[in-house]
Amino acid sequence: MPITKALETHIDHISILDEHGSFDEALGKDLIPDEDLLKLYQHMVVCRKLDEIAFKLQRSGRMGTFPQNMGQEATSLGAAYMLDDTDWMVTCYRENCGLFWRGLPMEKILQHWMGDERGNQIDRKHYCTPIAVPIGTQMLHATGLAWGAKYRGESQIACTFFGDGATSEGDFHEAMNFAANLDIPVIFFCQNNQWAISVPTSIQCSAPTVAQRGMAYGVECLQCDGNDIFAVAWCMKKAIESARDHNRPVFIEAVTYRLGDHTTADDARRYRDEEEVALWQSRDPLKRMRTFLESKGLWNDAQQAELDEHAEATVTAAVERAESIETPSRDDIFNWTFADIPEQIATQRDTMRTTSIGQDPSQIASEQATTQA
Amino acid sequence: MPITKALETHIDHISILDEHGSFDEALGKDLIPDEDLLKLYQHMVVCRKLDEIAFKLQRSGRMGTFPQNMGQEATSLGAAYMLDDTDWMVTCYRENCGLFWRGLPMEKILQHWMGDERGNQIDRKHYCTPIAVPIGTQMLHATGLAWGAKYRGESQIACTFFGDGATSEGDFHEAMNFAANLDIPVIFFCQNNQWAISVPTSIQCSAPTVAQRGMAYGVECLQCDGNDIFAVAWCMKKAIESARDHNRPVFIEAVTYRLGDHTTADDARRYRDEEEVALWQSRDPLKRMRTFLESKGLWNDAQQAELDEHAEATVTAAVERAESIETPSRDDIFNWTFADIPEQIATQRDTMRTTSIGQDPSQIASEQATTQA
Amino acid sequence: MANLTLVQAINLALVQEMEKDERVMILGEDVGLNGGVFRVTEGLFNRFGGDRVIDTPLAESGIIGTSIGLAMSGQRPVPEIQFEGFLGPAYDQICSHAARMRTRTRSAFTVPMTIRVPVGGGIHAPELHSDSPEAIYAHQPGLKVVMPASPYDAKGLLISAIRDPDPVIFFEPKRIYRAFREEVPEDEYTVPIGKARTVCEGEELTIVSWGASVVQCMQAIERSNDSIELIDLRTIYPIDMDAIEASVKKTGRCVIVHEAPRTSGFGAEIATQIMERCFLHLEAPVQRVAGFDTIMPYYKLETEYLPDADRIEKAINEIRAY
Amino acid sequence: MANLTLVQAINLALVQEMEKDERVMILGEDVGLNGGVFRVTEGLFNRFGGDRVIDTPLAESGIIGTSIGLAMSGQRPVPEIQFEGFLGPAYDQICSHAARMRTRTRSAFTVPMTIRVPVGGGIHAPELHSDSPEAIYAHQPGLKVVMPASPYDAKGLLISAIRDPDPVIFFEPKRIYRAFREEVPEDEYTVPIGKARTVCEGEELTIVSWGASVVQCMQAIERSNDSIELIDLRTIYPIDMDAIEASVKKTGRCVIVHEAPRTSGFGAEIATQIMERCFLHLEAPVQRVAGFDTIMPYYKLETEYLPDADRIEKAINEIRAY
Ligand SMILES: Cc1ncc(C[n+]2csc(CCOP(=O)(O)OP(=O)(O)O)c2C)c(N)n1
Ligand SMILES: Cc1ncc(C[n+]2csc(CCOP(=O)(O)OP(=O)(O)O)c2C)c(N)n1
Ligand SMILES: [Mg+2]
Ligand SMILES: [Mg+2]
C-alpha cells in the first residue's frame, strides 16, 4: 500500500453541565462534592466582585491597568480545585479566581496592579509564580519547575495557564515540546476566551480547535466547555493522572469568553459585537452554577444576598489593606537587583537625589580639590 | 453526549519506489518522465561527488566547515523539480542538490563555505535565498516572501526547507501559524534526517511522526519516504496545488537520513551506531534510483562510468572557479553595511590600518596642534 | 499646517506614505480595527483595507521575520511591536537577519523595513512597558535607530525611515504621544536620518538628549540662568557627532540625559566620542543623567527612576562648578 | 596542579561543582554523549548520567526558559548555548525574566543560573559563530557578565558563577579554548566575580581588555618599549572600576581593546567612567581599539576585523605621542 496511515487521532470535547442546565451523571457524578460546590460558587462570586470594584478603582485613578476575570472564573478555579496544594500554578494574569483558591491574599493582586513589586512577593507556600506580563513566556518556567520536582523525585507537578493569543508565541511551542520529549509533568491549560485584546482566536489559530495544538507533540489533548466547572474538573483529573503518574504533559483547551474589556485600558466595543457578548453572557459560569445549585436545593435568594454582602465586604477590606501599605522606599529600586548589591549600584542609590553623578561623590570633591590645587 | 469528537484526523504516509525496488504504478505513473528521471539521477550523482571533494578540501585546509547532502539528495531535488522556476526556495544549508537544479552555480556554495560572503550574493533570477545559519529562522522569511507575492497578485509560492531539529525552534511554530492563519502559500518541507548534530529526532519530537507538527495549525500534513524521489514529487504536487490554488500551506515530512557527519567539523561515530548507518546505506536514494533506471533499461554501467567522470570534472571545475576568485578586499567589510555608508563607518574603513582611532584622523593632528599651541 | 500631537503626526505620515507607495504594509498586534493600543494606526484599516493593515498572530518574532521576507520580496513593511518590552522575542530576527541581510548577500537581498515601537517610561504602565533599549540596537551594526522628540520630527523622520533602503527601528516616546501639540505641515516632508536638531543655542554648556527626556531638559534649562545649548539627537545610529562636537568645542561642558540604565547606555558612546574629538576643549568630564543599573521600577517609583528636571539641574550645576 | 587548556579547566570546574552539589545540572544542544561541539562537557554524561547532563531540543529560548524554571525550583542549572550567535532566540527569556525575577518578586523567586556561551572570532567558523555581545548583556540590569582570559581564571570564575545566587552569563573565548595551557590547581578554588586582574604592571599607559584579546594586548606590549600596565577585566558587569581608576591615575593614558563593534561597545562605558573618575589625570583621550560598526565578516576577512597587535601598537604609539 503506497498510501498508509502514519497516524490516526482525534480530540474529545467534554461538557457536563451545559448552559441549559442539563447535567451528565455518567461523567459528573462524584466529581465535586456538594459542599465544595458551594465553596467554589461563593469563591467565584467574590472574584467577580473584585472585577467590579477594581474597575472603579482604576477609573477613579486609584489603580493602574487591571485585567478582569469576568466570564472565565470556572477555568482557573476548576483547575486550582483539582490540583494539590503543592502543585505549581504558573499563571498569566487572568487567573485570580484560581489563585485566591490557593490562598493568595487578594491584596497581593491589588498591590501588583497598583504598581508595586511587592504584590509579586509571593510566599512560596502558595506555589504560585508572579504575574507574567510577557505573553507566552511562563510556560517554560512551569516546565522547568516541574522538571526540578521530577529531578528531585518529588510528586509535584505544574499547571500553567495562558490565553489563546499566547499559543501563537514560539515559547509556547518550545515549552510543550520540551515537556513532551523530556517527559516533564506539566499541564498546559489554555483559556481560549476568544480574544487577544482586539484580535479574535481565528487569527491566532484557524484550525478547528486550539486543542489540536497539542497534537504536534504527541501529547493528550482535551477540549472542554470552560464555563462548565465540572468539565474543567474532569479534564484536570485526567491530566493530573497522566502528569503525576506517567510524567506525560497534557494540553487542555477550555473554551470560554472574556466578558469584559481586555483590561481597564481597553474598550472592547471598538472591535466586537454586542450580540456575541450577549450570547456568552447567557453562558456565564456564575449563572450556570447558581441555577444548578438552586435546582439541587442547595441555594436560595437569601443565601445569595448574604453572599453578595460578604463579597463586597471581602473585596473592600482587601482594597483597604492594599491601599494602606506604605509606599515603597526609593531605595527599593536598587536593593533587589542582586543578592549582593555591587558598589556601583549602591552608589547610584546613595547619591540619586544628592548628586547627579551616580558615581562616588567624593570623586567630585577630590577632583575639585585637584582643580583648585 | 458529554464526550463528543471535536476533531478526527490522520496522517498519510507516501511511498512509491521503495528500497526493494517495488514501484507503485497507481501513484507513480506519469509523475516523472523518463528523460527527467535520467537528468535527476545524474544531478544527484554530481551532488554526491561534491560532498566527497568538499570533504577533502576541508581536510586539506582549503575550505572551512562543509555540510554534506549525502543520503538526502532526493528530498530537495524532488521538491525543486516540482516547483516552478520562479517559486522561492528558502533553504537551510543541506539542499545543494535542489539548488543546483535551480541553476545556482556550484562555485557559489563553495565560495560561501570558503568564508566569502559573495557566495551568498545570489542572482535573484534563481529565486533562492542565502544559506541560513541560525536554525529554524528562515521559514519566517519564506512566509514573508510568499505573502509578498500573494499581496501583489502573483502566483508565486515559496517552499522552505529545514531539518528535524529546526522544528523545535519557536520560529518554526510562528511561521507555520502565520501561514496557516493568514492564508499564505508556503510549503514547509522538513528533511527529517534522524539527527540534529548528535541529538536524535526523538528528542526533537517524541510524537509518532514529525508530520503531525502541522496538525497544530489545521494544515494538510504529509509524510513520505524522503529517499524516494517519486514520493517526494507526489507530495509536492499535492502541496503545490494547495498552496498555489488555495493559498493553503502544507507541511511535508520527508523521512530520510544523514549518511555523513553533521559537517566536516563533526565526527558522528561518537554518538551513533554503525548498524544504523548501514541500514540507511541500503536505502540510499542514489542506489535506489540507479537500480530502478537499470530495471527499466534506461541505464547501464558504461553510462555510469561516463557519469562518474563527468561528475568529477564538473566538481573539479567548480572548485577551480571558486578558488580562483580574488580574495575580497578589506573595504568589503564596510561597504555593504548600509546602502549609503555613514561617515563614521567610512572613517573606520579609511583609517583601519593607518590609525587606531577609527575616527577622523585629522582630529588627532588638530588636537596635537592645539596641544602644542 | 495643523496643530498635531505626536500620535497624530505619525498617523499622518503613515497615511501619506501608504497613499504614495503601494508597497507599504502595516502589520502587528491590534493594529487593525482597534487602531493600535495607542491608536497610532487608527483609521488605517478602514481606509486601506485588511490586505495592507494586518492584525497578525501574537508573535513578535513572527511579525519581524515575515516582515523581513516581505521586504526581501519587494514590499515596504512597517511592523509595529506593541511595547519596547516585547522586542525581546524579535531580537534574533532583528539582529541575526534584518541587520545582516545586506552584508550577508552583498546587497542581493535587502530589508527596507521600519519597525515602529513605543518606548520609555512615565505612563503608569505595568512591567516591561517602560524600558529604553536604544543602546542595544545601536550596538548592532546594520540597523538605524531613530527616536523623535516632537510631532514635526516624528512625521518627517518616519517618512525618511519608510523610504530608507535599510532596516530602521523607529522608537516612539510614549510619554509624549499626546503631551503637547506642534504645527505639522500637511504636505509631506522628510527630516533626514542621522542629523541632530539644536533645540536652543547656548554658550556655556551643551545638553545632549533624545526622546521624551528632551522635555525634562527644556524644563531644567528654563530654570537655569546659564546659557545652555540643547541638542536633540533624533537619530541614535548613525549618530550626528559633528553637531555634538561643534557644540561642545564651543561650550566645553556637556551633560547627556537618557532614560536607559546608565551602564553601557548610549550616553557612554557619546561621552567617549566627545572625549575622542574634543579632549582639549573639555573643561569638565562629560556628565550623564540616566536611568540606574536596576530594573525599571513599577509605577509607584517610576518617577524616581526617570531623569527629571531636578537631576538635570544638579548635573548642570555640578558641571558648571567643576 | 595540572597544565590545562581553558577547555579542560572549565570541564574540571563543571565536574567538581557537579560532584559537590547535586543541584547542578547541565543542559543544552549536544552537551550529552557528544560532549559539546567544543568538547567542554566531554565525559560528563557518562559520569553523571542523563538526568544531570541533558541533551535538549534545539531551542535556545526553551533551554533558558526551562533553566529559569529549574532555578526557581531550587536547582542550579548550567545551560550551554552553542555559540554566542544563538543567544538571540533566548534574549527575551534572559532579559525579560532571568534578569528581572529577583527584582520583580522582591527575592521570593531567584534565578541562580550560569549560562555558558562560547564567544568571539578567529576560529574560521561560519556566520554568527564569531560575535561578541557582552555589552548587550552588561546593559541589562540584573545580569552578571563574566569572560575569563586564562585557564586558571576560567575555572575559578566558573565555580564562582555556579555558586552565585544570581544569573551569570559566562562567556568563553573560543579562540583561546586550546591556544595555550596554564597551571591550574586540582583543588577547587574561586576567583571572585567583579575583580579585575593586573596581568602586568607599568607606569606609562594602561591597557584594559578582556577575553581572547588579552593575548593580542600582551603581544603588543612585548613589542613596545613603553612601561605598560595590562588589566584583564575578567568581569564585564559589575565592572571593577577601582582597579582601572587606580591604574589610569598612575599612568594618565589608557587604551581599551575589545572585539565587539566600536559603537556602544563596552569600551565606551569604561572610557566614560575613566573620564568621570580620572578627568584631571588624563594626558590623552582614552583610546579604543575595537571591532568595527559592521557585521563581523566571514572568515576570509576576519583577521582584518579583529584587533591585532599591530592595531594595538598603533594605539599605544598614538596615545603616548599625544
Ligand atoms: C510578548 C508580548 N507581546 C504583546 C503583549 C501585549 N499584550 C498584552 S495581553 C495581550 C493579549 C493576550 O491575549 P491572550 O493570550 O489570549 O490572553 P487574554 O488576555 O485573552 O487572557 C497582548 C497582545 C505582551 N504583554 N507580551
Ligand atoms: C539557532 C541555532 N542554534 C544552534 C545552532 C547550531 N547548529 C547548527 S546545525 C545544528 C543541528 C541542526 O539539525 P537539523 O535542523 O535537524 O538539520 P540537519 O543538520 O540535520 O540537516 C545545530 C544545533 C544553529 N546553527 N542555530
Ligand atoms: Mg484570549
Ligand atoms: Mg536533522
Asked if the ipTM is above 0.85, the reply is: yes
CATH top-level class for A12-323? Answer: alpha beta
Q: What average pLDDT does chain D have?
A: 97
A196 Cα to the center of ligand 1, angstroms: 6
A134 Cα to the center of ligand 1, angstroms: 7
Partner A, chain C 291-310, Cβ-Cβ below 8 Å: 292-295, 297-302, 304-305, 310
Distance (Å, rounded) from C-alpha B348 to C-alpha D291?
Answer: 10
Shared domain check, C205 and C179? no
Catalytic: which of C97, C129, C139, C258? Answer: C129
Shared domain check, C75 and C28? yes
- What type of residue sits at position D110? T
Residue D167 lies in a domain: yes
Percent of chain B having pLDDT more than 90? 93
Q: At what angle do helices B138-151 and B170-181 cross, to 10 degrees?
A: 20
Ligand sitting nearest the alpha carbon of B136? 2
Shared domain check, D208 and D162? no
pLDDT in tens, B189-199: 999 999 999 99
Please report the pLDDT score of residue B370 as a whole number: 39
Q: Which three cell numbers stand for residue B4?
A: 463528543
pLDDT in tens, A326-343: 999 999 999 999 999 999
Q: Are B254 and B232 in contact (CB under 8 A)?
A: yes
Partner A, chain B 151-180, Cβ-Cβ below 8 Å: 168-174, 177, 180
Distance (Å, rounded) from C-alpha B88 to C-alpha B145?
Answer: 8
How many Å lie between the alpha carbon of B192 and the closest alpha carbon of chain D? 14
Residue D190 lies in a domain: no
Chain D residue with the nearest C-alpha to that of A133: D96
Residue among C126, C161, C143, C129 at smallest CA distance from C10: C161
pLDDT band (50, 70, 90) for residue B1: low
A198 Cα to the center of ligand 3, angstroms: 9
Q: Please give the order of strands across the beta sheet that includes D287-291.
A: D197-200, D228-232, D205-209, D254-261, D287-291
Shared domain check, D152 and D18? yes
Q: Does the CB of C280 have a partner CB in chain B at under 8 Å?
A: yes
Contact call for A348 and C32, based on CB within 8 A = no
Mean pLDDT within B347-353: 90
Contact call for B270 and D292, based on CB within 8 A = no
Chain C residue with the nearest C-alpha to that of B145: C69
Q: Does the CB of A150 have a partner CB in chain B at under 8 Å?
A: no
Distance (Å, rounded) from C-alpha D58 to C-alpha D41?
Answer: 17
D30 Cα to the center of ligand 2, angstroms: 10
Cell 524644563, residue located = C219
* pLDDT exceeds cutoff 70 at B360: no
Q: Are D120 and D212 in contact (CB under 8 A)?
A: yes
Residue D189 lies in a domain: no
Shared domain check, D154 and D6? yes
The contacts of residue C119 (CB under 8 Å, 6+ apart) are C84, C131, C132, C133, C134, C147, C171, C172, C173, C174, C211
- Neighbour-count burial of A274, counting CB atoms closer than 10 A to its CB (0-12 exposed, 13-18 middle, 19+ buried): exposed
Q: Which three cell numbers stand for residue B193?
A: 534526517
Shared domain check, C224 and C131? no
Please report the pLDDT score of residue A357 as a whole number: 61
Chain D residue with the nearest C-alpha to that of C292: D141
Shared domain check, C176 and C33? yes
Residue whose Cα lies nearest atom 6 of ligand 1: it is C82
Q: Are C110 and B125 in contact (CB under 8 A)?
A: no
Distance (Å, rounded) from C-alpha B299 to C-alpha B286?
Answer: 13
pLDDT in tens, A220-238: 999 999 999 999 999 999 9
Q: Which three cell numbers stand for residue A271?
A: 472591535
Q: Which three cell numbers stand for residue B3?
A: 464526550
pLDDT in tens, C68-120: 999 999 999 999 999 999 999 999 999 999 999 999 999 999 999 999 999 99
Count of other CB atoms within 10 angstroms of residue D165: 15
How many Å lie between the alpha carbon of D241 and the closest alpha carbon of chain A? 9
For the domain that residue C289 is a member of, what is the CATH number? 3.40.50.920
Q: Is the CB of A72 under 6 A from ligand 1?
A: no
Distance (Å, rounded) from C-alpha B253 to C-alpha B268?
Answer: 23
Q: Which three cell numbers stand for residue D322?
A: 599625544
Residue among B99, B21, B33 at smallest CA distance from B67: B99
Residue among A190, A177, A176, A173 at smallest CA distance from A224: A190
Residue among C86, A338, C95, A343 at smallest CA distance from D98: A338
Please report the pLDDT score of residue D222 as a whole number: 97
Residue to mutate (ligand 1; options C58, C92, C131; most atoms within 8 A of CB): C58
D258 classed as catalytic: no
A133 Cα to the center of ligand 1, angstroms: 8
Please report the pLDDT score of residue B357 as a whole number: 61
Q: Rounded to the nearest 5°, which phi and psi values hold at B208?
A: -60, -30
Shared domain check, D291 and D166? no
Q: Is the CB of A196 under 6 A from ligand 1?
A: yes
Name beta bridge partners: A11: B7
Q: Rounded to the nearest 5°, which phi and psi values hold at D84?
A: -60, -25
Q: What average pLDDT does chain A have?
A: 94
Burial C295-322 (b: 16+ CB within 10 A, else e): bbbbbbbbebbbbbbebbbbbbebbbeb
Query: Three-state DSSP class for D53?
Result: strand
Residue C191 lies in a domain: no
Please report the pLDDT score of residue B359 as a whole number: 47
Q: Which of the 8 DSSP states describes residue B17?
A: B
Please report the pLDDT score of residue A224 as a whole number: 98
Residue among D158, D99, D167, D89 at smallest CA distance from D128: D89
Shared domain check, C179 and C79? yes
Per CB-CB distance under 8 Å, the chain C contacts of D295 are 99-100, 103-104, 141-142
Name beta bridge partners: B158: B88, B186
Query: Three-state DSSP class for B196?
Result: strand
Chain C residue with the nearest C-alpha to that of A170: C59
Residue D166 lies in a domain: yes
Shared domain check, C201 and C180? no
Please report the pLDDT score of residue A1 as a whole number: 60
Residue C315 lies in a domain: yes
Q: Are A44 and A59 in contact (CB under 8 A)?
A: no
Q: Does the CB of A205 have a partner CB in chain B at under 8 Å?
A: yes
Q: Which of the 8 DSSP states describes residue B227?
A: T
Please report the pLDDT score of residue A372 as a whole number: 38
Q: Which of the 8 DSSP states describes residue D94?
A: I
Partner B, chain D 97-126, Cβ-Cβ below 8 Å: 124-126
Distance (Å) of CA C13 to CA B307, C24, C44, C176: 61, 12, 11, 17
Last residue of a domain, one of D128, D163, D184: D184
For the domain that residue D40 is a member of, what is the CATH number? 3.40.50.970
pLDDT in tens, D190-238: 999 999 999 999 999 999 999 999 999 999 999 999 999 999 999 999 9
Cα A187 to chain centroid distance, Å, stands at 13
pLDDT in tens, B262-298: 999 999 999 999 999 999 999 999 999 999 999 999 9
Q: Are A91 and A129 in contact (CB under 8 A)?
A: yes
Last residue of a domain, one of C184, C217, C239: C184
* Ligand 3 (single-atom ion) residues, CB below 5 Å: A 163-164, 193, 196
Atom of ligand 1 nearest to the CA of A167: 15
DSSP C52-111: TEEEPPS-HHHHHHHHHHHHHTT-EEEEE-SSGGGSGGGHHIIIIIITTHHHHHTTSS--
How many Å lie between the alpha carbon of C298 and the closest alpha carbon of chain D? 9
What pairing do the DSSP bridges indicate for beta strands D235-237 and D144-146?
antiparallel
For testing the chain D interface, which of A120, A143, A174 should be mutated: the one with the most D CBs within 10 Å?
A: A174
The length of chain D is 322
Contact call for D142 and A174, based on CB within 8 A = no
Please report the pLDDT score of residue B366 as a whole number: 43
Contact call for D268 and C263, based on CB within 8 A = no
DSSP element (H, E) containing D255: strand D254-261
pLDDT in tens, D241-288: 999 999 999 999 999 999 999 999 999 999 999 999 999 999 999 999
pLDDT in tens, C192-231: 999 999 999 999 999 999 999 999 999 999 999 999 999 9
Please report the pLDDT score of residue C1 as a whole number: 79
Residue C260 lies in a domain: yes
Distance (Å) of CA C112 to CA C71, C160, C165: 6, 11, 5
Distance (Å, rounded) from C-alpha C266 to C-alpha C46?
Answer: 39
Which alpha helices (H) appear in chain A, and where do they start and end? 25-28, 34-59, 73-82, 96-101, 106-113, 138-151, 170-181, 201-204, 229-246, 274-281, 285-295, 301-324, 332-335, 343-351, 361-372
Distance (Å, rounded) from C-alpha B177 to C-alpha A203?
Answer: 9
Please report the pLDDT score of residue A143 as a whole number: 98
Atom of ligand 2 nearest to the CA of B195: 20
Catalytic: which of D97, D129, D258, D281? Answer: D129
Please report the pLDDT score of residue A371 as a whole number: 39
Shared domain check, C70 and C156? yes
Chain D residue with the nearest C-alpha to that of C86: D92
* pLDDT exceeds cutoff 60 at B364: no
Residue C104 lies in a domain: yes
End-to-end CA distance of chain C: 45
Per CB-CB distance under 8 Å, the chain A contacts of B230 are none
Q: Which three cell numbers stand for residue B252?
A: 511535508
Please report the pLDDT score of residue D1 as a whole number: 79
Domain count, chain D: 2
Last residue of a domain, one of D142, D157, D184: D184
Contact call for A148 and D238, based on CB within 8 A = no
Shared domain check, D161 and D204? no
Residue to mutate (ligand 2; options D27, D30, D58, D117; most atoms within 8 A of CB): D58
Please give the biggest Cα pair distance in chain B: 96
Query: Which segments in chain C show pLDDT lower than 70?
Result: none
Distance (Å) of CA B81 to CA B143, B237, B314, C238: 21, 10, 20, 45
How many Å lie between the alpha carbon of B161 and the closest alpha carbon of chain A? 18
B118 Cα to the center of ligand 4, angstroms: 27
Please report the pLDDT score of residue B353 as a whole number: 82
Residue to mutate (ligand 2; options B72, B97, B135; most atoms within 8 A of CB): B135
- What type of residue sits at position C252? G
Whether cis (ω within 30° of 0) applies to the bond prior to D238 is yes
How many Å lie between the alpha carbon of C191 and the closest alpha carbon of chain A? 33
Task: Identify the sign of the CA torsion C285, C289, C290, C291.
Answer: positive
Q: Does the CB of D280 have a partner CB in chain A at under 8 Å?
A: yes
Q: Which of the 8 DSSP states describes residue A228?
A: -
Distance (Å, rounded) from C-alpha A115 to C-alpha A280?
Answer: 32
Contact call for A330 and C88, based on CB within 8 A = no
Please report the pLDDT score of residue A365 as a whole number: 45
Partner D, chain A 303-362, Cβ-Cβ below 8 Å: 332, 336-339, 342-345, 357, 359-360
Q: Which three cell numbers stand for residue C105?
A: 548577500
Atom of ligand 2 nearest to the CA of B133: 25
Q: Where in chain B is the domain with CATH 3.40.50.970?
A: 12-323
For testing the chain B interface, which of A27, A210, A212, A252 should be mutated: the one with the most B CBs within 10 Å?
A: A212
Residue D28: left if φ>0, alpha if ψ -120 to 50, beta else—which one?
A: left
Q: Are A327 and D154 in contact (CB under 8 A)?
A: no
Query: Three-state DSSP class for B278?
Result: helix
The contacts of residue A278 (CB under 8 Å, 6+ apart) are none
Query: Which segments in chain A show pLDDT lower than 50?
Result: 358-361, 364-373
pLDDT in tens, D38-61: 999 999 999 999 999 999 999 999
Mean pLDDT within B17-39: 96
Range of the domain at D306: 197-320
Distance (Å, rounded) from C-alpha A58 to C-alpha A72?
Answer: 21
Q: Does the CB of C32 have a partner CB in chain A at under 8 Å?
A: yes
Please report the pLDDT score of residue D33 as a whole number: 96
